[in-house]
Amino acid sequence: MRKPHFHTTIFMFLLLFPVLSLATDTITPTTPITVNQTLVSNQQVFELGFFSLDNNNNNNNWYIGIWYKQIEPKTYVWVANRGNPVNSSSGKLTIGGNGNIILFNQPETAVWTSNDSNHSVRAVKRVAQLLDSGNFVLRPKGDERPESYIWESFKNLTDTLLPGMRLGWDRKTGVNRFLRSWKSGMDPGSSSYTFKMNVDGFPEIFLSAWVKPVFRSGPWNGRRFSGVPTSRGVRLMELWFVNNYVLRIEI
């Protein structure tokens, strides 16, 4: 009986096991993830890894994203390199020598980085962890306190606002955080649609297309946005104003 060809055997293995979920929620400088690997948060709520939206199975464009682990089809809530895809299946997400989270293309070309300029903590003493909140954080090894986070996805918004994220003006850093939609269902690149807090005068939310408002919430009156009717029934979320941020969403 003829034995299966070695390459055929490997091909069948990849078909049956296309993605390997690592038994960890953390990457280190010595344990990166590649295209066929993912991180899973501790309580199996969120998953992080490479994904491709190519229906033709060419898989020429790969992105690093976060999605709900238990929901099908995949619901992407954050994308790192949304405007700069990895163009081969040889991509790698790791912690680089400068201590940043870095997404590498082939051959070892960085296409995205967490861009932290504080290098007081050596790379070998840093880890990147996916939390059950959906937050992907860069922190010192052995220190899980939120105040020790060096970088976090919750402060680098894409198109989705998750519980715990903050939308609006950060008075400490001078950054106005807002949402920007995908270009299309097949392209996570940034489109012209934005969901942004206007902080000139009384805080107000604007949904805009090409900078032109298509919806406005009305000014905040101390209890709610004046242009939004009072919701009825079960309250699914609450909006809070806090010291350093204009708006926070809570479930």
Name residue 233's amino acid. G
Where is mean pLDDT largest: 6-10, 54-58, 186-190? Answer: 186-190
User: Residue 136: which H helix or E strand, with range?
Assistant: strand 136-140
pLDDT of residue 17: 40
Q: Who's near 65: CB < 8 A, 6+ residues apart?
A: 48, 49, 51, 76, 77, 78, 79, 80, 188
- The edge-to-edge listing of strands for the beta sheet with 247-250 is 175-177, 166-170, 247-250, 238-240
Q: How many helices (H) and strands (E) does the chain have?
A: 1, 21
pLDDT of residue 10: 36
Which residues have CB under 8 Å from 38's CB, separation 6+? 19, 20, 21, 22, 47, 48, 49, 50
Tokens of 29: 């400088």
pLDDT band with cut points at 50, 70 and 90 for residue 69: very high
Q: Average pLDDT for residues 94-122, to the nearest whole number?
A: 85
Residue 159 pLDDT: 97
Q: What is the pLDDT of residue 3?
A: 43
pLDDT at 223 (0 to 100): 73
User: Looking at residue 134, what is its pLDDT?
Assistant: 98
- Summary mean pLDDT of the chain: 83
CATH class for the domain made up of 1-154: mainly beta
Segment 176-197 shows an average pLDDT of 95
Question: Band of the pLDDT at 239, cuts 50, 70, 90?
Answer: low
162-184 residue pLDDT tens? 988 888 888 778 888 999 999 99
CB 107 within 8 A of CB 88: no
| pLDDT at residue 8 greater than cutoff 90 | no
The percent of residues in the chain predicted with pLDDT above 70, rounded, is 78
Q: DSSP label at 174?
A: T
pLDDT at 94 > cutoff 80? yes
Instruction: Read off the pLDDT of residues 30-50 as tens digits, 9 standing for 90 and up.
Output: 999 999 999 999 999 999 999
Per-residue pLDDT band at 204 (split at 50, 70, 90)? confident
3-state secondary structure 113-125: ECCCCCCCCCHHH
| pLDDT computed for residue 12 by the predictor | 38
Residues 217-224 have a mean pLDDT of: 79
Task: Give pLDDT, residue 234.
Answer: 46
C-alpha 117, offset from chain centre: 20
Pick the closest to residue 93 from 34, 25, 23, 156 (CA basis): 34
Average pLDDT over residues 185-197: 95
CATH 2.90.10.10 in the chain is located at: 1-154
